[in-house]
Amino acid sequence: MDISKIITFQEISLKNSKEIDEKYIQEYIAKDASVLGLGDLILKDKERMQPSAGRLDLLFQDPDTDRRYEVELQLGKTDESHIIRTIEYWDIERKRYPQYDHCAVIIAEDITSRFLNVIQLFNGHIPIIAIQMKAYKVDDKIALIFTKILDEIEKGFDDPDIPPEYEVDRNYWENKASKETVALADEVVELINEIESGFKLKYNKHYIGLTRNGIAFNFAIMMAKRNFLRLDFKMNKNDEIEALINDNDLDLLDYGSRNNRYKIKLTKNEIVEKKEIIKILLGKSFEYFS
């Protein structure tokens, strides 16, 4: 390869740039949120007014999981006020709209090690993602590169070092999601009892779990959303399971590598029409967990 074909980009400071400002970058991200590496998100709002707290830069939503991302953008280095504002907006939104899962996102040109340490103190208690934004001059254009340098800590379930979940009742989930989607959890536990008997639902604040003979047995957990049920089942990542999911047109949302759980999206029709394949997946998960 001819070495002359390799070029060096000139990094520029957006904060000191006369060509581009924060509003321009905000519009750029709003037009295509995929540049952040958070998935195929839908823009819900820009410059969203917060009661007695200013404006939230960007609000995105994942259409598959109904998770919302409260995004704050800053040119230059992160500072105390920016971190506080990011967390404050996240807190306001989650209290106003508890039916959604919420995650705070902070974007800055330079997330210093000092403030990265501060953010990490919150992570695990406050779902927060830190993204570093770099700008490069390419001829007469500017290239923006977004790099996730701190991801949200994904909480596992039933690990000995995690305290027990706060128990709630069925009404809590019906209000948070809907009666129809919580009823889907009943149908899933019926399938489970066709595999092995004795399972019942246990309603926790962050997930609907399983008990057997009064003891937690969470080889599968569920999260009711407004329009569907998310089913997470424990299993090492492998081609056989993914082939079963893909070949039967089940909607695979994600695989959680931290706790070895496949996450699939289920509707009423899918549970009826794909009952047998769902039973196979649950059966394999039960064997793995046991």
**What would the two tokens of residue 245 be?**
């999911």
**What would the two tokens of residue 132 be?**
């570093």
| 60 neighbors 38 (Cβ within 8 angstroms) | yes
The Cα 130–Cα 153 span in angstroms is: 12
Task: Name the pLDDT band for 284 (thresholds 50, 70, 90).
Answer: very high
Phi and psi, residue 45, nearest 5°: -165, 155
**What would the two tokens of residue 192 be?**
């489970």
Q: For domain 3-150, give the CATH number.
A: 3.40.1350.10
- Report which listed range, 104-118, 123-137, 180-194, 211-225, is most confident: 180-194
| C-alpha 263, offset from chain centre | 12
3-state SS assignment for residue 98: coil
Q: Domain-by-domain residue ranges, the chain?
A: 3-150, 170-289
Least confident of 95-104, 178-187, 260-269: 95-104
- pLDDT surpassing 60 at residue 104: yes
**pLDDT on residue 101:** 82
The reported pTM is: 0.57
Interstrand relation of 199-203 and 141-150 (parallel, antiparallel or unpaired):
unpaired
Q: Please compute the mean of the pLDDT values over residues 46-61 and round it to a whole number.
A: 87
The Cα 57–Cα 36 span in angstroms is: 14
Q: For domain 170-289, give the CATH number.
A: 3.90.1150.20
Q: Please compute the mean of the pLDDT values over residues 113-123 and round it to a whole number.
A: 73
HSE of 161, CA atoms in CB hemisphere, 13 A: 3
Task: Name the pLDDT band for 72 (thresholds 50, 70, 90).
Answer: very high
Q: Please compute the mean of the pLDDT values over residues 76-80 and round it to a whole number.
A: 82
Mean pLDDT of the chain: 85
**What pairs with residue 147 in β-bridges?**
132
- pLDDT surpassing 70 at residue 161: no
